[in-house]
């Protein structure tokens, strides 16, 4: 445990001195928190008119989310804010990928992996330390951003019905369960990419491809092909567990002393 803690400490001490990583860690969550709040605030300004609107203004595929006592305006707000749920889910992918790309490929580039591998630290400790160092900030940032978002909702006049939906099981599962699962997949994918490239920027760019499936979900929802509801979220979590198992296996296969020293390019 002490070794894992030391690896995390080392990673954070080094990575957080990198402006690019800091920028990603601060700027992206800010944008992803402010944007839905702004959307809710501005849609809330026209609430009187929206209250008069009927659920006929909401895409028909989304109506299943709008339960009995919701006004058309509230249903529209939930429809709008639901797009941002998927953006919140991008945070645990983008942040760990940035950290892992710099922490592993950067270490390769400065030849500091060999002395590190020559210490008594086990491969498991090293992999766990590096993975946690990349995943934990992303998970924490995701949770904090969501917490700030939730706390700010009443301040901008969002109705209790909408707050109740956002603080409901679909969003909570997305942030508390799907987010960490995606972070784990992202870190292991970054480790795999790290074994193939020598430039942290290339590793980051390739690893960020992981957001493509999330973008796919956003567009599918916008196009009315799917609606992110509890069932979809549970299925997504189930799928992510399988992806994580595969990714952890892949990461552990790649992240072995001899392979790193003799086969990593």
Partner 1 sequence: MIESKGLTKIFEIKKGADILAVQDLTLSVPEGEVFGFLGPNGAGKTTTVRMLTSLIGPTSGSAWVNRFQVGVDDQEIRRSVGVLTESPGLYERLSARKNLTIYANLYDVGDVDGQVGKYLHMLGLWSRRDDPAGSFSKGMRQKLAIARALLHEPKVLFLDEPTSGLDPEAARLVRAFIEQLRGQGRTIFLCTHNLNEADRLCDRIGIFKSHLIEIDTPENLRKKLYGRKVVFHLRELNPAWLDPIRALPGIQDIECVGQKLVVAMDDPERMNPEIIRLLVDSGADILFVGELRHSLEEIYIQTMQENQEAEAGA
Chain centre distance of CA 256: 27
- Select from 37-45, 80-88, 184-192, 255-263 the region that touches partner 1 (CB under 8 A): 255-263
Question: Alpha-carbon torsion 45, 225, 34, 166, what sign?
Answer: positive
19 makes contact with partner 1 (CB under 8 A): no
Contacts with partner 1: how many residues (CB under 8 A)? 27
| Beta carbons within 10 angstroms of residue 93's beta carbon | 27
Burial label for 53, CB within 10 Å (0-12, 13-18, 19+), is: middle
Binding to partner 1 in span 99-118, by CB under 8 A: 110-118
Query: CB-wise, 16 or 42, nearer to partner 1?
Result: 16
User: Which of 228, 224, 247, 246 lies closest to 236, judged by CA?
Assistant: 228
Tell which one of 39, 53, 63, 121 touches partner 1 (CB under 8 A): 121
- Residues 127-166 as x/- pattern, contact with partner 1 by CB under 8 A: ----------------------------------------
Query: CB-wise, 116 or 222, nearer to partner 1?
Result: 116
Question: Alpha-carbon torsion 207, 208, 210, 212, what sign?
Answer: negative
User: What residues line the site for partner 1 (CB under 8 A)?
Assistant: 2-3, 6-7, 9-10, 13-14, 17-18, 110-122, 257-258, 261-262
């Amino acid at each position: 445990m002490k070794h894992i803690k030391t690896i995390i400490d080392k990673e954070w001490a080094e990575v957080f001195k990198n402006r690019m990583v800091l920028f990603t860690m601060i700027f992206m969550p800010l944008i992803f928190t402010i944007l839905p709040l702004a959307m809710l605030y501005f849609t809330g300004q026209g609430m009187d008119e929206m209250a008069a609107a009927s659920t006929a203004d909401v895409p028909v595929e989304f109506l299943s989310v709008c339960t009995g006592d919701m006004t058309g305006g509230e249903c529209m707000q939930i429809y709008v804010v639901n797009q941002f749920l998927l953006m919140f889910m991008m945070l645990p992918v983008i942040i760990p990928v940035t950290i892992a790309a710099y922490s592993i490929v950067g270490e390769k580039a400065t030849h500091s992996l060999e002395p590190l591998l020559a210490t008594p630290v086990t491969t498991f400790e090293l992999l766990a330390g590096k993975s946690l160092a990349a995943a934990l900030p992303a998970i924490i940032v995701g949770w904090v951003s969501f917490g700030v978002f939730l706390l700010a909702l009443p301040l901008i006049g969002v109705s209790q019905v909408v707050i109740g939906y956002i603080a409901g099981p679909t969003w909570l599962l997305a942030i508390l369960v799907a987010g960490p699962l995606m972070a784990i997949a992202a870190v292991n994918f970054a480790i795999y990419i790290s074994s193939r490239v020598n430039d942290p920027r290339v590793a980051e760019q390739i690893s960020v491809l992981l957001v493509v499936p999330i973008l796919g979900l956003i567009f599918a929802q916008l196009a009315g092909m799917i609606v992110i509801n509890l069932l979809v979220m549970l299925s997504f979590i189930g799928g992510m567990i399988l992806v994580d198992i595969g990714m952890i296996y892949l990461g552990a296969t790649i992240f072995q002393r001899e392979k790193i020293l003799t086969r990593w390019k």
